[in-house]
Amino acid sequence: MTEPVLSVRNVSRKFGALIASNNVSLDLRPGEIHALIGPNGAGKSTLIKQIAGGLRPDSGEVHFLGRDVTALSTVQRARMGLGRTFQISALAMEDTVLQNAMLGALGAGRRPYRFFRPVLKDRDLREVAETALDRVGLLDHAAIRTSDLSHGQRRQLEVAVALTLKPRAFIMDEPMAGLGASGSKRLTGFLDELRHEAPILLVEHDMDAVFALADRISVLVYGEVIATGTVEDIRNHAEVRRAYLGEDA
Amino acid sequence: MSRETIFNAVLALGLLLFPLWAYVADEPFMITLATRVAILALAGVGLNIALGLGGLVSLGHAAFFGIGGYAMGILAHHAQSYTPLMEVPFLIEGTKSMPVIWLVALAASALAALVIGALSLRTSGVYFIMITLAFGQMLFYFAISWPAYGGEDGLSIYVRNSFPGLNTLDPIQFFLIAYVILAAALMFAAMLAKSPFGLALNAARQTAERVETIGITPYRLRLTAFVISGAITGLAGALFADLNRFVSPSMFSWQTSGEIMIFIILGGVARLFGPVAGAALFIALEHVLGGLSEFWHIYLGLLLLAVVLYARGGIIGTLAGREVAHD
């Protein structure tokens, strides 16, 4: 079996008496979409933070590209090629769509300490940014102020910014939220292709999308992974149906 | 051309034509007022890089303004008393040359900003405001208790420092020096805002988390901005001291920090010409209202209140409208 790109090994994190992550293990293999699902408050966001950086687990390790990154900062992990989209859009709202995408390109190029030439005249950065915008279908909106975008378009921009980094793995926190049926369908098609560039750890509430896309699914309940498996496995998993899908098995 | 560009051009031209008129009309005091505007605006341009672009609410920029002032004061004091600054391990003498003084002011205030910034930027929000204020106050009391350089009384410099080829004692010539430096600083600030660094810094103000996830450390961006910001305000301090031929601990006072911030808030935060508009209005009010009452700050307070409540974009925001997104 091929080495996983990303693996979470026995990660635990407590906040006081609350166990947000309880001995969580999961991995992301090359070319796959691994969906992480679970009810609200299951600890998905806490887990994402521990994977992407910003929150250190109490115990356990996170490995990325064969390296223990548990002690590395968000910035260091990003530089290694961990691309992330946020659940609540983290975009520069006062800036244009193009500027946001160029910011990503700037980070990928690692040369932000340039003070004189206008960034928008940097052809290389601009091309990276415009290619990414084009891929998510936002190129027509490049000159628009980000705060004027619809909620769904902001989700698309989140993905575009992550694309500019040409990451080795994606972590996407609810990219479908607020997209509407057609937008969601489009993004589903897009992610379906994207997995061949880099695997995606997908946190998502939209079950249609999850079932359509995921190679594997992990179910998180009360900070614990109660099941990992293929779509079929999860659909038929008694405990999952009871705990999460809200059905009597 | 946007309305803001037109307004900026009018402002820049106005600040140049007013003292030229005063020169023709033989009103040297008016030239001095315009020079004050140019120098204080320069201090504001410095702060605006940290505050407007970086979102760093520094209430301690008087530290840099004062360091620039004392750089001038100390160098000129030694030159006029023919005593060296130090003899061991090597000889450093004072100077009356403006360009040298400016370089020293820039370097000293940049260094101070590096140290103060490195410590302060570990905090944010109200803690950052308080810690920068504290550094400013530390330097204020340090200056007061340093008898070698005048202590509480400050230092008087008898003759204004020199600039090659110019007579700096002529008010209009000294004004032009300040004006050209202000123009250069404005051009630099405009360039900075559009540069890759400006894009990243501005993004770090809006969403630091995003900047981290693209592999850039916000702390370093902010520290760099803070150093640039402090250096420009320090240069303004050196010019201010030269204008008055006097430097005292009051340049370090927190009121000075507050006034520099008031220029920006009055003029428009993050607007290129905000500090220019704000400093001009401040000096005009001080001149007109100050003549009517010693307590003119009451009116300034009311105006500030009105701006904060009803015109958040300051003068420029009100006259030129919302900033247009860059092309």
* A window 211-240, beta carbon within 8 A of B: none
Alpha-carbon torsion (B210, B211, B212, B214), positive or negative: positive
Q: Does A118 touch chain B (CB under 8 A)?
A: yes
Terminal C-alpha separation, chain A: 34
CATH of the domain at B292: 1.10.3470
Answer yes or no: is pLDDT of B1 > 90.
no
> Looking at residue B325, what is its pLDDT?
47
Q: Model confidence at B120, in pLDDT bands (50, 70, 90)?
A: very high
Structure tokens at A96: 């244009």
Q: Please tell me the distance in Å from A201's CA to the nearest CA on chain B.
A: 16
Mean per-residue pLDDT, B2-17: 94
- CB contacts, 8 Å: B191 with chain A: 115-116, 118
Q: Which residue has the tokens 């150093």?
A: B227
Please check whether residue B327 lies inside any domain of the structure.
no
> Looking at residue B196, what is its pLDDT?
96
Point out the residue among A94, A108, A110 whose CB comes nearest to the CB of B206: A94
Q: What ipTM does this complex have?
A: 0.91
Q: Region of B150 please: left (phi>0), alpha (psi -120 to 50) or beta.
A: left
> Looking at residue A6, what is its pLDDT?
95
Q: Does A168 touch chain B (CB under 8 A)?
A: no
* Cα B34 to Cα B12, B48, B171, B183, B255, distances in angstroms: 12, 20, 10, 14, 21
> Looking at residue A182, what is its pLDDT?
84
Contact residues for A121 (Cβ-Cβ < 8 A; gap 6+) = none
Q: Model confidence at B118, in pLDDT bands (50, 70, 90)?
A: very high
Kind of pairing, strands B246-247 and B155-156? antiparallel
For residue A65, count other CB atoms closer than 10 A to its CB. Answer: 14
What residues in chain A have per-residue pLDDT under 70?
1, 244-249
Please check whether residue B325 lies inside any domain of the structure.
no
Topology of A1-81+169-249 in CATH?
A: Rossmann fold (3.40.50)
Point out the residue among B191, B216, B323 whose CB comes nearest to the CB of A107: B216
Answer yes or no: is pLDDT of B19 > 50.
yes
Point out the residue among B191, B197, B215 whose CB comes nearest to the CB of A113: B197
> Looking at residue B173, what is its pLDDT?
97
> What does the pLDDT look like over B80-116, one tens digit per residue?
999 988 888 888 889 999 999 999 999 999 999 999 9
> Looking at residue A183, what is its pLDDT?
83
Q: Please tell me the distance in Å from B141's CA to the nearest CA on chain A.
A: 36
Question: How many domains is chain B built from?
Answer: 1
> What does the pLDDT look like over B257-272, one tens digit per residue?
999 999 999 999 999 9
Point out the residue among A78, A113, A143 whose CB comes nearest to the CB of B214: A78
Record: contact B211-A54, CB cut-off 8 A: no
Give the residue range(s) of CATH 3.40.50.300 domains in chain A. Answer: 1-81+169-249
Please check whether residue B114 lies inside any domain of the structure.
yes
> Looking at residue B321, what is its pLDDT?
78
Least confident of A147-151, B20-24, B27-31, B106-110: A147-151
> Looking at residue A246, what is its pLDDT?
62
> Looking at residue B323, what is its pLDDT?
64
Contact residues for B290 (Cβ-Cβ < 8 A; gap 6+) = B296
By C-alpha distance, which of B46, B320, B54, B55 is closest to B189? B46
Least confident of A154-158, B42-46, B85-89, B225-229: B85-89
Count of pairs with CB atoms under 8 A, one residue in A, one in B: 117
> Looking at residue B315, what is its pLDDT?
92
Domain span holding position B255: 3-320
Contact residues for A11 (Cβ-Cβ < 8 A; gap 6+) = A21, A23, A24, A25, A47, A50, A57, A59, A60, A61, A62
A144-151: long-range contacts at Cβ-Cβ below 8 A with a sequence spacing of 24 or more?
A: A144/A96, A144/A97, A144/B325, A145/A93, A145/A94, A145/A95, A145/A96, A145/A97, A145/B325, A146/A91, A146/A92, A146/A93, A146/A94, A146/A95, A146/A96, A146/A97, A146/A100, A147/A93, A147/A94, A149/A97, A151/A178
Instruction: Give the chain A residue nearest B213 (alpha carbons).
Output: A78
> What does the pLDDT look like over B211-224, one tens digit per residue?
999 999 999 999 99
